Chains A and B, each alone.
Chain A
């Protein structure tokens, strides 16, 4: 039930942001977010609320690290 979807902020109007993923747009309340967001940031949206920022750099770093450690050619 609390599946949050990662969405990108495309505009901000007061307490609300318009967010988008794969062409689907959704309004999200920013009432619950305790981090600053700006247009272009990614947030996890659940039931009409942005619940958390998604750290894009961290996601990339995680993936890179996984690729380094677990890709078959490197594991031998």
Chain B
């Protein structure tokens, strides 16, 4: 079976776009919908969905990619750790190119640091088992989709009795930044395209408070072009009817209650903390760090290092980009000083970053 081909059917995509245009005919003030997931951002650029939509519908990108919102301070600590002779850093690939205050993991690797890209945090646990004289540190970033996989790796390391596996954890959770953005008077969001796989874990119910408190429609949407457009149509219908409720477009995967087992793993291994977001600042209760009962796996506590002084990058508009206030094309560094080959800010690093998607696929 190949679902993706059917969900990319050109005629369906055009039919959906036409329906949205019909629905919004005569609407004066454009409806602004925000996608808060980097994979949505990428899909929207990749399939040119903006150009299919009528001028009455505007899509803007929010703080959707965990790599983009990871602050310099986190990278500086990872870089300090990788300089220790007995440490192996393991990570998902995107993190390597994110600039810290004065270096990146990529540069450190070129200088000889042992930094390895893994597909699964379980691979990092295996690496620790095979290298008992080394300390293996996994860079734990990501939203609620990824966080349970890291929790799983800690549970696996514990079950195997490993004492040389650690996680540098700075996970983020999604509903909080959406609430902060909804409360921002400078930002008029008429609806959210809610993340697909984050919602598979937390469940669509997690957005209900946004609808109730901020009167903003939320639709949990899949990643295929027809999914995104159908999600937009559902948002348009709600917005025009003056409604604000949660709807699930991506019902083939997402349930109202989410994944109870993954939620239990998160609650067991992690504990909420006030996490710093790149360009946005510290958001109360918006992150997950390792709970005290698993402190021996916490790289920050177990492996003390001297971290260099924090420096932010001049001129980078990442913060405003992540809040949906400006578009990449408004950044004076875009495409000049800042490109995917040599990114200044994090939004240009990950392929899911707004600046990187805009660079690759254009307007």
In the complex formed, the residue of A with least CB distance to B64 is A1
Residues of B within 8 A of A52 (CB): 197, 200-201, 253-254, 259
- Shortest distance between the CB of B20 and any CB in chain A (Å): 10
B119 near A: Cβ within 8 Å?
A: yes
User: B197 to A47, Cβ gap below 8 A?
Assistant: no
User: A32 to B152, Cβ gap below 8 A?
Assistant: yes
Q: Which of B11-19, B26-34, B281-289, B307-315 contacts A (4 or more CB under 8 A)?
A: B11-19
A32 to B143, CA, bound (A): 15
User: B38 to A71, Cβ gap below 8 A?
Assistant: no
Interface residues of B in 263-293 (CB under 8 A from A): 265
Residues of B within 8 A of A13 (CB): none
Residues of B within 8 A of A22 (CB): 2
**Would you call the interface of chain B mostly helix, strand, loop, or mixed?**
helix
User: B12 to A66, Cβ gap below 8 A?
Assistant: yes
A6-29: CB near B (< 8 Å → 1, else 0) gives 101000000000000010000001
Other-chain contact of A2, B2, B14, B143 (Cβ < 8 Å): B143
B101 near A: Cβ within 8 Å?
A: no
B190 near A: Cβ within 8 Å?
A: no
In the complex formed, the residue of A with least CB distance to B119 is A48
B65 near A: Cβ within 8 Å?
A: yes
Interface size class of B (residues with CB under 8 A): 35 or more
B178 near A: Cβ within 8 Å?
A: no
Check A3/B92 contact, CB under 8 A, given A34-B262, A55-B253, A63-B7: no
Check A46/B149 contact, CB under 8 A, given A3-B223, A72-B11: yes
A38 near B: Cβ within 8 Å?
A: no
Other-chain contact of A75, B19, B121, B265 (Cβ < 8 Å): B19
User: B16 to A51, Cβ gap below 8 A?
Assistant: no
B148-171: CB near A (< 8 Å → 1, else 0) gives 110010011000000000000000
Residues of A within 8 A of B2 (CB): 22
In the complex formed, the residue of B with least CB distance to A73 is B11
Residues of B within 8 A of A70 (CB): 12, 15-16, 18-19
B136 near A: Cβ within 8 Å?
A: no
Check A33/B261 contact, CB under 8 A, given A1-B94, A2-B145, A51-B148: yes
User: A29 to B122, Cβ gap below 8 A?
Assistant: yes
Give the number of A-B contacts (CB < 8 Å).
129
In the complex formed, the residue of A with least CB distance to B250 is A62
User: B262 to A59, Cβ gap below 8 A?
Assistant: no
Number of interface residues of A (CB under 8 A): 35
A52 to B146, CA, bound (A): 13
A1 to B122, CA, bound (A): 16
A8 to B2, CA, bound (A): 11
User: A47 to B261, Cβ gap below 8 A?
Assistant: no
Residues of B within 8 A of A44 (CB): 197, 200, 253
B57 near A: Cβ within 8 Å?
A: no
B71 near A: Cβ within 8 Å?
A: no
Interface centre among A47, A56, A58 (most CB of B within 10 A): A47
Residues of B within 8 A of A75 (CB): 15, 18-19
Interface centre among A6, A56, A62, A72 (most CB of B within 10 A): A62
A29 to B122, CA, bound (A): 9
A56 to B15, CA, bound (A): 23
Residues on B facing A (Cβ under 8 Å): 1-3, 6-7, 11-12, 14-16, 18-19, 38-39, 65-67, 92, 94, 119-123, 141-143, 145-146, 148-149, 152, 155-156, 195-198, 200-201, 223, 226, 230, 251-254, 259-262, 265, 350, 352
8 of the cross-chain contacts (CB-CB < 8 Å) are: A31-B155, A32-B265, A33-B259, A47-B92, A47-B120, A54-B253, A59-B3, A71-B12
